Amino acid sequence: MLLAGCAGLSQSPAHLEPAFWKGEPPDALVSRNGRKIDSAAAWMEIRRPELLHLFSTTVYGKPLPVPEGIEFRVLERDDNALGGKAIRIQGDILCKGIDQPNPFRLLLYLPKNAGGPVPVFLGLNFQGNHSTTFDPAVLIPEWNPKPRPRGNRADRYDLDLLLDAGYGLATIHTADIEPDRPDSWKTGVRRAYLADGVQKKDDPGTISTWAWGLSRGLDALLTIPEVDPDRVIVWGHSRLGKTSLWAAATDPRFAAAVSNDSGCGGASLTRHIVRDGKSETLRKIIEVFPHWFALNLSDYIDREEALPVDQHELLALVAPRPVYVASAESDVWADPEGEFLAAREASKVYRLFGRAGIPEEAPMPKLHEPVGEGIGYHIRAGEHSVHSFDWAAFVDFMNANLPPKK
């Protein structure tokens, strides 16, 4: 098996910690009953639905139902934002027929004078829309009792780079959808869906709920004529990178996905573990964040080898839509090698669709050297964060892999 042969692989100048395997990851191209998946049609008809079901029931929990519709209530629009280079739109998303604790507030920047609909990166943020930028016009919702400082996380966004490249950027605060807390299933939007107030083992966790919220963000973007409906890219960093991948897997309307430093439960292979407790394992993630996943996942603590899936198959669920995985050299906790091997292994599925992916025996790429077609990967120097290098690579990859539809 290709993957298992890779343990300890270290031809890269990137500093890689030694790792070991907890069993062999499943072959994405063999179905549960042993059938070889050798065509795009067999992938779409047999293996993809099977994997989607397994990830739903075992890892993230079944996706929340799609509401009857949404209302996007525009609160503010400025066609001369950011010194005249952008259009800024802010509005509230209200889901029809659902008792939402509060609306989901969307902030969107679009490049001005684009001459047509533009591609948009949509992602969640950790600290409020106003934390992603120093723009003083960004609204702080009244339901945010203790707002963090404006611009507190602005260093993770390169809005100028995106606007100059002709891309828009849209964001929603995670807490608007569901606060990142173990008891949120009782208080957040999820409660409206859980039968009898009891949590079943395959009910959605927080990641699944956030992913569903991203789909509602997409619903709102699709009401805006300046947004290209065929080029909304879902992206996320860290726990929000786990979320962006699951959002793309569950909602085929997302044209592409980006995972930045998403690690365990995201792009990194669960069975690939860095020695001496340096990377996150199922035990560690579930102990600290029990609410992120389906309760069923805890059955696999210390028995990763028994999991019916591994994370290369999550990446493959996005196929044939473009997906990009980014790692950071010092972010050993997220296991960069495990992320690379997942992207390389998922390439098999992309090849069914005629996309080259990352070649089968490719070594870890050097720092700052993106690889892959259809499915791409890079590792950069530095810590767990989002840098301008990452944004530039996301844009280059999307320019090459997500051209406008004719």
Query: Closer to ligand GCU at the Cβ: 28 or 247?
Result: 247
Our answer to whether residue 238 is catalytic in this structure is: yes
Binding site for ligand GCU (CB under 6 A): 238-239, 263-264, 280, 285, 333
Q: Which two tokens stand for residue 7?
A: 């343990």
Helix (H) or strand (E) holding 89: strand 86-95
- Whether the Cβ atoms of residue 110 and residue 227 lie closer than 8 Å to each other: yes
**Least distance from ligand GCU to the Cβ atom of residue 262, Å:** 6
In 137-190, beta strands by DSSP E? 168-173
**Least distance from ligand GCU to the Cβ atom of residue 155, Å:** 15
| Catalytic residue, candidates 31, 53, 384, 385 | 384
Query: Closer to ligand GCU at the Cβ: 104 or 333?
Result: 333
Our answer to whether residue 208 is catalytic in this structure is: no
How many residues can be counted in the chain? Answer: 406
Q: What are the distances in angstroms from CA 162 to CA 63, 88, 382, 396?
A: 31, 14, 21, 11
**Least distance from ligand GCU to the Cβ atom of residue 43, Å:** 29
- Whether the Cβ atoms of residue 357 and residue 371 lie closer than 8 Å to each other: no
Rounded distance, CA 217 to CA 248, Å? 13
**Least distance from ligand GCU to the Cβ atom of residue 216, Å:** 21
What residue spans of 121-203 are helical by DSSP H?
A: 159-164, 174-177, 184-187
Query: Closer to ligand GCU at the Cβ: 244 or 347?
Result: 244
Residue 155's identity, in one-letter code, is D
Query: Closer to ligand GCU at the Cβ: 119 or 265?
Result: 265
Rounded distance, CA 136 to CA 82, Å? 10
Tokens 């290098």 — which residue? 389
**Least distance from ligand GCU to the Cβ atom of residue 198, Å:** 27
| Catalytic residue, candidates 238, 244, 279, 347 | 238
**Sign of the alpha-carbon dihedral angle for 162, 388, 327, 301:** negative
Query: Closer to ligand GCU at the Cβ: 263 or 365?
Result: 263
Contacts of 8 (CB under 8 A, 6+ apart): 18, 19
Query: Closer to ligand GCU at the Cβ: 239 or 344?
Result: 239
Q: Which two tokens stand for residue 21?
A: 């395997």
Three-class SS state of 321:
coil
**Least distance from ligand GCU to the Cβ atom of residue 264, Å:** 5
Which residues are designated catalytic? 238, 384
